[in-house]
Amino acid sequence: MKIRVFEMDYSVPCCGYGFYERRQKLKKEYEHLSSKDIGKMKRENKNLELSEERIVPLFVFMGDTTVSIFNRYE
């Protein structure tokens, strides 16, 4: 789990919080391959990195703010 704090636009200082999950996913360049092909690649090259960490947003709490924060935190 990863938590990120965002500065919000409001008349008093405030912040929002984003909750994210770290997941290991197959790299995009291997997504088209079948599970058989992936298994064969793993057996042939034990050091080959087939997956990568991706951060997946789960929930964001922002409270009162303006729409401008969506441009700031793309």
Where do the structural domains in the chain lie, given as residue ranges?
Answer: 2-72
Least confident window among 7-11, 18-22, 47-51: 7-11
* 23-68 pLDDT, tens digit each: 999 999 999 999 999 999 989 998 999 999 999 999 999 888 888 8
Residue 2 confidence class, pLDDT cut points 50, 70, 90: very high
For CA atoms 41, 43, 47, 52, give the dihedral sign: positive
C-alpha 45/C-alpha 9 separation (Å) is 51
Q: Is residue 28 within a helix (H) or strand (E), and if so which, with residue range?
A: none
